[in-house]
Structure 1
Amino acid sequence: MSSTDERTGLRKFFDRLTATDSELDARDLQREVAKCGAMPAGQCSRGQVVSVNGRLRTVAYTPRTNLPTLEADLWDGSDVVTLVFLGRRSIAGIEPGRQLTARGRIAIRDDRKVIYNPYYELEAPR
């Protein structure tokens, strides 16, 4: 092993040792995104049809006067994409902490990335 490889290995070790739990979680999620071939949310832009993978942080039912919506924030370690299910009050399996892959076209609402009525696949609970 060369001295450069040793230094790189030590740097990674100390980075991991000094990282916070949320930083480690973000790194793990980003590795999962790379493994499944999804696009990192941080790289998604308006109008793109994307496949994103991550963990649901929050799920909220938002009663609207004309159309109820269920909104779920999907976090992949780089950014958040809000999944908006129009006309739904709840969906079995869509709950905080659940890992999933969602596909759809990125829109921007209130400076946030959203996908309306995405196609989604739930991953088995760990």
Structure 2
Amino acid sequence: MATDEGRGSLRNLLQRLTASEAEIEAQELRRESAQCGGTPAGLCRRGEQVSISGRLRTVVYTPRTNLPTLEADLYDGSDVVTLVWLGRRHIIGIEPGRQLTVRGRVAIRDDRKVIYNPHYELELPR
């Protein structure tokens, strides 16, 4: 007769064996974000001051005539938040695949969550 603990371990093993790479990555990112004390991006609402920990998916420089911007999509396993640094063309360490924790106020632009000029801390590679 199997114990509840044994069934839980078997269930976790089966889930990991049948999960896609994206699902496994999302689970790991959610776990890491929780360890850092971050707010899940999926729970963030407009106007909230939040701290989010995740991995940068994309980083794009957008040249504009009056104000250039550097934009990056931060994914924490639950949702994506776009980070926008106004007047910046490049920030050392802000690159795809980099882990970081950001703090700032959530805004909504084109039905997407955005944090303008967030305070950020680069995390050590994992």
* Counterpart for residue 98 of structure 1: 98
* Counterpart for residue 38 of structure 1: 38
Matched, 1:72 2:65: no
SS in 2 for 1:11: helix
Q: How many residues align?
A: 126
Once the two structures are TM-superposed, the CA of residue 65 in structure 1 deviates from its matched residue by 2.1
Tell me whether 71-80 or 9-18 shows the greater mean CA deviation.
9-18
* Counterpart for residue 28 of structure 2: 28
Once the two structures are TM-superposed, the CA of residue 66 in structure 1 deviates from its matched residue by 1.2
* Counterpart for residue 51 of structure 2: 51
List alignment gaps of at least 5 residues for structure 1.
none
* Counterpart for residue 114 of structure 1: 114
SS in 2 for 1:12: helix
Tell me whether 80-89 or 7-16 shows the greater mean CA deviation.
7-16
TM-score w.r.t. length of structure 1:
0.95
Once the two structures are TM-superposed, the CA of residue 4 in structure 1 deviates from its matched residue by 2.4
User: Residues of 2 paired with 1:6 and 1:121: CA distance?
Assistant: 39
Once the two structures are TM-superposed, the CA of residue 63 in structure 1 deviates from its matched residue by 1.0
User: Residues of 2 paired with 1:9 and 1:94: CA distance?
Assistant: 38
Deviations 1:60-98 (A, max 9, x none): 001112100000000001100000000000000000000
List alignment gaps of at least 5 residues for structure 2.
none
Backbone CA RMSD of aligned residues: 1.3
